[in-house]
Structure 1
Amino acid sequence: MSSSSTLTAKPSITAIVAATQSNGIGLNGGLPWKLPGEMKYFARVTTGESPSTDPTQQNTVIMGRKTWESIPPKFRPLKNRRNLVISSKGVDVSTAPNTSSHPSIPSALSSLPTSPSPSRTFLIGGSQLYTTCITSTPPMVDRILLTRILEPAYECDAFLEDFTSHTSQDGKEVWKKASHAELEGWLGFKVDEENEEKGTRYRFEMWVLDQ
């Protein structure tokens, strides 16, 4: 592969998100639920099983400004991960290690290493970025890790695009749900498919482009 084709190769991006059955993902700038077990899953997946001590080899999380600001300062930036913040107006991340601000998604992606690396890139919110990346043609993400909140029906004011119903111009479904075994194979660890925590039932799913 030539260096020019390496530079223009489409990066593999995984969106990771928790959403209710009506696709609600947030309320008042935060999460409507508090699920420590689900958050541990998020951290384990986005950090990786054996995060490198070399920041350039660590997994990357991409987020919008509002998502960045919704993270409690003591947990910001997300440790053992490269943090990329998208903001057209800019956001001051000068004091945050391994963190950079970018005016657009293409700008953020251009900052990723071009050499082969075992690291992964995750899109972690918010709703506008999810919509942009999932509804583009072709989608900018090629995998969606969805924690489907089964019950109760939480009140939300931010929503995820209903990607499961997307079809191409020729009527084919854009996304297909992978099996749980395929999810575990991609994760590299075992995880219960359905879970209950603090009265909330949820299911771990993986959706991939139907190619």
Structure 2
Amino acid sequence: MADLIIACLSQKGGVGKSTLARLIARTYAVSGWTTKICDFNTTQLTSTHWAKIRKDAGIEPKIDAEAYNQPTALTREDYNLIVADGRPDSDQSSLDIALRSNLVVIPTGLSLDDLQPQLAFAKELVAKGVPAERILFVLSKITDSKIAIAEARGYLAEFRVADQHLTLKHSYQKSQNHGYALSEVQGLNTARLEEVADLVAAEIVSMVTELQEAA
């Protein structure tokens, strides 16, 4: 049985759900945890393909990934950490995953086209039994507009939003194409990008610790 389940869920695609799943898995794996990404997006299998690229390239630490259809299988996995990479536009599957998870991470961009469905999705999870304190929003794949970031945080004010955010950078995208997580970004002058990714991951780890201590 898994010691910890973290879900990366989204009502829509393209906001960085799989990116966060990989970052979380790598963060725990580098600390010695056995980790697996359960990839529920069986049409695209982005995390599954990423893990294969990573394995074939010999990148350490090892991160397993596999396609999944049934959320009930999550609790039967014999890993320290399971990261559920959910399928967009799948309300029942997302709810079943969220109810079995210690933490639900929801990425969103800055536009209302992203914010509105993601906030509605979070509210729906709460209405169906997921505690609001187990939900964390992460501003992801965004620009550095301070005004837009502040407006997005205000829009999501009823939920916790990570202090750090992930900007849209070519180095992030290119590194993931080769099996790396955001905290392993490859290229010149990328130390700050790695640092920001590590800070986002640290917030997620800290929130998990808080929830476990409060339980």
Q: Which of the five TM-score ranges fits, normalised by the shorter chain?
A: 0.3 to 0.5
1 or 2, which has the higher strand percentage?
A: 1
User: Which structure has more RCO (C-alpha within 8 Å, separation ≥ 6)?
Assistant: 1
TM-score (norm 1): 0.46
Please identify which structure carries the higher helix content.
2
